[in-house]
Amino acid sequence: MDMARATRNEWRFWPNREDVALRVQTALGVYDTHPLSAPGGAAKRRAPTWKEMTASAGGVSAKNLVWLIPAANLPEGVEPRAGYQIRSADDVDHTILEVLDGKFANTRRCVTIALAVVYELHALGVLTRPDDAQDDAGRSLPSAYTEIARVKCRVQPQDSEAGDHFERRTTARRFAAYLDQQLQPRAKDVFTVTTYVSPGGAIASVQSYTVLGYRNPERLDQLAALDLELLS
């Protein structure tokens, strides 16, 4: 008997499965979402085994999760890849670091990291961009903005820079926002951050910043960062 065919449906007996979404990155910070569903759940998450952690020479640790996705539950022509994301049933995005075929290629084993969880990113950041709208006199309308992206983030102060503005002494406060996914920001975009009293709790504050710069992570398990200036 063909063993690959005989074991193709073994995943149906896995406990603790859940429906997920595979987020396929089509451009930097842009994803197409493919829901994966099956009776009893389309995928299974588990902690990495000691053997997996040892064989990885430190590349896989307790901060990672392993997702097992049966090939039968993937849409035709869609495969998980490094840089894509798995959105779990509890609405957490897990960035895929590595993908390996399981036995007989019946499953895809994805090593992931939930950046927002590991780095405790509890705030919500919304990146918006000024539109090119103009009034009747041809002047730009800075109040017109288009939402570009929503990300989990954490904002930390960096430094302060004093100066004079309209004969008043002011302080331009600089910050860095650490993000759970990469973006395509532009200078002068606005980044509005909502912080909460506790994760999922009441809103504690809402603050907007001007985007000054952007830093890409060197690795998929590291955070991107925005350089910000506090809007007055």
Predicted local confidence at residue 28, as pLDDT: 86
DSSP 11: G
Indicate if 168 and 67 belong to the same structural domain.
no
Identify whether residues 109 and 128 lie together within a single domain.
no
pLDDT at 222: 96
One domain for residues 218 and 194: yes
**Phi first, then psi: what are they for 4, rounded to 5°?**
-60, -45
Q: Does 9 reside within a domain? A: yes
What's the chain's average pLDDT? 88
Q: Whose structure tokens read 């389309």?
A: 42
| Domain endpoint, select from 113, 137, 169 | 113
Residue that is last in its domain, among 113, 138, 172: 113
Residue 118 counted as domain residue: no
The answer to whether 209 and 190 have CB atoms below 8 angstroms apart is yes
Whole domain around residue 144: which residue ranges?
123-230
Which amino acid is residue 55, in one-letter code?
A: A
Q: Which of 113, 139, 169 is the last residue of a domain?
A: 113
Q: Is the pLDDT assigned to residue 91 strictly greater than 50? A: yes
Q: Are residues 102 and 147 in the same domain?
A: no
Residues 94 and 168 in one domain: no
* In a domain? residue 87: yes
What's the pTM value of the predicted model, to 2 decimals?
0.84
Cα–Cα distance list, 102 to 12, 61, 62, 68, 71 (Å):
15, 20, 21, 8, 10
177 in the same domain as 144: yes
| Residues with Cβ within 8 Å of residue 26, at least 6 apart in sequence | 32
40 assigned to some structural domain = yes
Six-digit token string for 77: 């022509």
> What are the pLDDT digits (tens) for 180-191?
999 999 988 999
The DSSP bridge pattern shows strands 85-87 and 65-70 to be: unpaired
Please tell me the total count of domains within the chain: 2
Structure confidence by residue, pLDDT tens digits, 94-133: 999 999 998 778 999 999 999 999 999 999 999 999 887 6
Statement to judge: residues 74 and 176 lie in one domain: no
CA dihedral of residues 166, 167, 170, 174 (deg, nearest 10): 50
